[in-house]
Amino acid sequence: MNIILFIIGLGVGAFFSLGFSPISIGLGNVVDLIVVSIAVFLLSMIFYGYLSPLVFLYLGFVSNKMIFSNPIGVLGFIVPLVIASYAGGVAANYASMDMNGEGNFFQHWKGIAAMLIAAVIVAAIWAVVMGLLPSFQDLNALFLP
C-alpha cells in the first residue's frame, strides 16, 4: 500500500506539476535520506502504521520533480522508507502489546533497532548510489546546442 501511494503521489505530482520542494536539510543527499527514513520510522510508530501510506503519498508529491531527472533513483528511494515504515509498525505493535500487558516491548528492542539500522544503512548506500547515477538533465545537456 505504501509503495502504491508513493507511485500515485509521483504521478499526480508530475501530472499537475506541483511545486513542492524536495526534502532537504542542506547537509547532502546521504543525510537527507537518513533523516527522512528515521522520520518515516517515527511517524509509523506514532500512528501505529495506519497513516504511513499518507506519509508515502506526501513523499511521492515531494519527489515528483526528481522523477524526470533520475527515475531509477527515485524508485529506489522507496526501499529504505518501506523498511523504516515496517520497523515503526512492528515497534508500535510491541508497544501496544506492552501497554495491554500481553508482552514486553523491551524484549524485542534489538530486532526493532536492527530493522531501523538496516533502513539507515540502506538509505546511506542508496543515497551514494543515487549520486553516482547519471541524470537525464545532464544527458540532455549533451545533445542540446
pLDDT tens digits for 32-91? 788 888 888 988 888 887 777 878 777 777 777 777 777 777 778 888 988 998 999 889
CA–CA separation, 7 vs 81, rounded Å? 13
What mean pLDDT do residues 125-145 have?
A: 67
More confident residue, 98 or 15: 98
pLDDT of residue 18: 65
More confident residue, 139 or 57: 57
pLDDT of residue 62: 76
More confident residue, 139 or 28: 28
pLDDT bracket for residue 21 (50, 70, 90): low
Mean pLDDT across the chain = 78
What mean pLDDT do residues 16-21 have?
A: 64
CA–CA separation, 115 vs 87, rounded Å? 6
What mean pLDDT do residues 129-138 have?
A: 68
What mean pLDDT do residues 105-127 have?
A: 89
CA–CA separation, 39 vs 55, rounded Å? 10
More confident residue, 27 or 101: 101
42 burial (CB, 10 Å; 0-12 / 13-18 / 19+) is middle
pLDDT tens digits for 28-45? 667 878 888 888 898 888
